[in-house]
Amino acid sequence: MTDLFKRNFNLSADLAPPLVAILLCTYNGARFLAEQLDSLEAQTHQNWVVIASDDGSTDQTLEILQQYQAKWSTGKLTIRSGPEKDFCQNFLSLACDPEIRADYYAFCDQDDVWLPSKLVVALDNIATSQESGIPYCYCGRTYYFSERLKPYSMSPRFVFPLSFRNALVQSIAGGNTMVFNLAAKILLETVGVVEVPSHDWWAYQLIMGVQGHVFYDQEPHVLYRQHKSALIGRNDSFPAKIERIWMLIQGRFRGWNTQNIAALKQAKHLLTKEHQDCLILFEVLRGSRIKDRLRLMEVCGLYRQTRSGTLSLYLAALINKI
């Protein structure tokens, strides 16, 4: 990367700590936003800026953002208007904006709390593992906490290999844990804003599809707050598992897959030949007769990160809800 490129895009100098652009999306998040902003301020790694995209809040969210903007140094917090569609489109509006340039990028939810080590751990991992010009994303587990930050448990432990065949049927980590390099950001920009169920699942699929790298940290560094207004909550409890089975039966999972396939087809020219073939096979599988679906499941090699998850995947194929 040339010095000219760094000057043009305001990137960090070689001897300075890398600059992280924190991509924060907000919508009526006044109850918890200040705690999240305080946790960003407490990061061990201090060379960061926040780009906050607000999706039309009607509470005190904007006032809180403006208070922190005035409190922090000039340029530390930028506030902009979101597309006012949904959380995924809001996050992608930031991730796909070529005007936002830094060394690394981190998705940030409005209602979590980051441990002080969050950024430094992620950056150490990326710096020692990434290859030049190859998309790389760090992600991991979270601590589940109540809205008053009473500890519940940790998100599930995943140990199976990360791959495109896994990414097609499972989102492994929340966007609130994701930190990614410039190559991954440019990849997202190249495809542009697409209609997908979630930005984090899409990032996992796309990076794996182009033979990039994703690292899943077994040690959590984010307090993932659980509350009634949360769009996506914990998935380790018995009620949550029952709810997901019901969503599968109702066809929600199939609808998500339909969206993801359409988006991946838009990016098909970027995928490796192996993953293009896998995508085609997955689409064929979904329109096949029951005996062919089960056979093609084996051929395609789809799997989830737990044995019970993979079993539910075969159930979805059996009842044509995949």
Structural domain spans, the chain: 3-226, 238-318
CA 102 to chain centre: 18
Query: For 53, phi and psi rounded to 5 degrees?
Result: -110, 110
| Torsion on CA atoms 237, 239, 243, 248, rounded to nearest 10 | 60
In tens digits, what is the pLDDT along the chain, a chain of 322 residues? 333 233 334 454 457 899 999 999 999 999 999 999 999 999 999 999 999 999 999 999 999 999 999 999 999 999 999 999 999 999 999 999 999 999 999 999 999 999 999 999 999 999 999 999 999 999 999 999 988 888 778 999 999 999 999 999 999 999 999 999 999 999 999 999 999 999 999 999 999 999 999 999 999 999 999 856 654 554 555 566 566 666 666 779 999 999 999 999 999 999 999 999 999 999 999 999 998 998 999 999 999 999 989 999 999 999 999 9
Per-residue pLDDT of 79-90, as tens digits, reads 999 999 999 999
What does the H/E/C string look like for 174-231?
A: CHHHCEEEHHHHHHHHHHCCCCCCCHHHHHHHHHHHCCCEEEEECCCCEEEEECCCCC
Nearest to 219 by CA among 263, 177, 265, 282: 177
Per DSSP bridges, beta strands 179-181 and 104-108 are antiparallel
291 burial level (CB within 10 Å; 0-12, 13-18, 19+):
exposed
User: What does the alpha-carbon distance between residue 229 and residue 232 come to, in Å, rounded to a whole number?
Assistant: 9
Strand partners, 290: none
Strand partners, 217: 140
Predicted pLDDT of residue 230: 54
Nearest to 103 by CA among 123, 121, 118, 120: 123
Q: What residues have CB less than 8 Å from 298, skipping those under 6 apart? A: none
Predicted pLDDT of residue 98: 98
Predicted pLDDT of residue 2: 32
CA 183 to chain centre: 15
* CA contacts within 13 A on the Cβ side of 206: 32
**Residue type at 5?**
F
Quote the radius of gyration of the chain (alpha carbons, Å). Answer: 20
| Structure tokens given for 218 | 């077994």
Predicted pLDDT of residue 71: 98
CATH placement of domain 3-226:
3.90.550.10
Q: What is the DSSP string of 277-293?
A: HHHHHHHHHHTS-HHHH
